[in-house]
């Protein structure tokens, strides 16, 4: 019997040996994160829950393909994003998002040197969670982004995917991802500004007096 505190790899090994309870612990550990990714892509609670279910079934069925070269959650999140992309492609309401199947890495593992950054490392969101209006503004802002912009934001901010990985996933160049992410964030900031009545907090003029750096456009920090 595997302990609920066991690490992912131990739970994966136990699941491979047929320990259903170990797999349940894995699911309980990641189900809400998987849901948040799916919801970020799909913006529909029931569709997101369907993806949660499909994702874990697929994980169990293909667990023998997981070699452990990358973290389990990276592999899991990749499966989730692929299912979301499939869901969007099947849904006529989301024709805007186009992916190249030939560049998909369904169930595969990323190579070494992944630039994955766990979302939790981005900072303690406790203070943000206390401000309901900000959270609602974020959710509303995501709702108004295009599918492509929402996809790059979710893949980058929640899944921690590198530009290269996102480019493979979406079937475009790394430069396109860089540009798309830049515009997605800018649109998101604009939407939040409109919603929250943003007042610029940074300097609107040039850089520091002793700076000869490039001139930076108006600051985008939207949250006080």
Partner 1 sequence: MTEPTVTLEQRLHAFLDGELSAPERAEIEQILARDAQARAYLDGLRLLQRAVVAGLEAEADRVPEARFEQIWDEIDRTLDRDLRLQKAPEPPPSLWARIGAALRPRFVPLAAAAGVAAVALVTWSSLGTAPAPTNNEPLVASNPAPVKPVLEDTPIAVAVPVEEPPLELPAPNGGPAQIKRIEWSGKAGRISEIEGKRNTTTVIWISDDETSGSSERSL
Alpha carbon distance 145, 38 (integer Å): 15
Closest approach, Cβ 20 to partner 1, in A, equals: 7
Using CB under 8 A as the binding rule, the residues of this chain from 26 to 85 that contact partner 1 are 27-28, 31-33, 35-37, 39-40, 45, 49, 52-53, 56-57, 60-61
How many C-beta atoms lie closer than 10 Å to residue 9's C-beta? 12
- Among positions 95-124, residues that touch partner 1 (CB under 8 A) are 115, 117, 119, 122-123
DSSP 156: I
Cβ contacts of 58 within 8 Å, gap of 6 or more: 79, 83, 107
Among 185, 190, 194, 195, binds partner 1 (CB under 8 A): 185
> For partner 1, which residue of 19, 71, 178, 187 counts as binding (CB under 8 A)?
178
d(CA 104, CA 85): 10
Work out whether 188 is an interface residue with partner 1 (CB under 8 A).
yes
Window 140 to 159, contacts with partner 1 (CB under 8 A): 142, 153-154, 156-158
Count of CB atoms situated within 10 Å of the CB of 48: 21
DSSP string, 22-82: HHHHHHHHHHHHHHHHHHHHH--HHHHHHHHHHHHHHHHHTGGG--SSS-HHHHHHHHHHH
**Contacts with partner 1 in 8-37 (CB under 8 A)?**
20, 23-24, 27-28, 31-33, 35-37
190 is a contact residue toward partner 1 (CB under 8 A): no
Least CB distance from residue 101 to partner 1, whole Å? 25
Identify the residue among 134, 167, 170, 172 touching partner 1 (CB under 8 A).
Answer: 134
């Amino acid at each position: 019997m595997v302990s609920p505190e066991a690490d992912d790899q131990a739970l994966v090994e136990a699941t491979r040996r047929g320990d259903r309870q170990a797999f349940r612990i894995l699911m309980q550990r990641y189900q809400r994160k998987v849901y948040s990714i799916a919801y970020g892509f799909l913006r529909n609670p029931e569709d997101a829950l369907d993806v949660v279910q499909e994702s874990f079934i697929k994980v169990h069925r293909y667990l023998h393909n997981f070699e452990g070269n990358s973290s389990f959650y990276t592999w899991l999140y990749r499966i989730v994003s692929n299912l979301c992309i499939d869901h969007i492609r099947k849904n006529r309401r989301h024709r805007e998002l186009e992916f190249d199947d030939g560049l998909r890495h369904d169930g595969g593992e990323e190579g070494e040197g992944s630039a994955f950054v766990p979302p939790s490392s981005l900072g303690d969101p406790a203070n943000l969670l206390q401000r309901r209006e900000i959270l609602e503004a974020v959710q509303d802002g995501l709702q108004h982004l295009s599918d492509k912009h929402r996809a790059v934001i979710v893949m980058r901010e929640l899944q921690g995917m590198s530009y290269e990985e996102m480019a493979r996933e979406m079937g475009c160049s790394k430069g396109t991802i860089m540009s798309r992410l830049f515009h997605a964030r800018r649109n998101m900031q604009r939407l939040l500004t409109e919603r929250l009545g943003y007042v610029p907090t940074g300097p609107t003029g040039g850089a520091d007096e002793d700076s000869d750096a490039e001139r930076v456009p108006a600051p985008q920090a939207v949250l006080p």
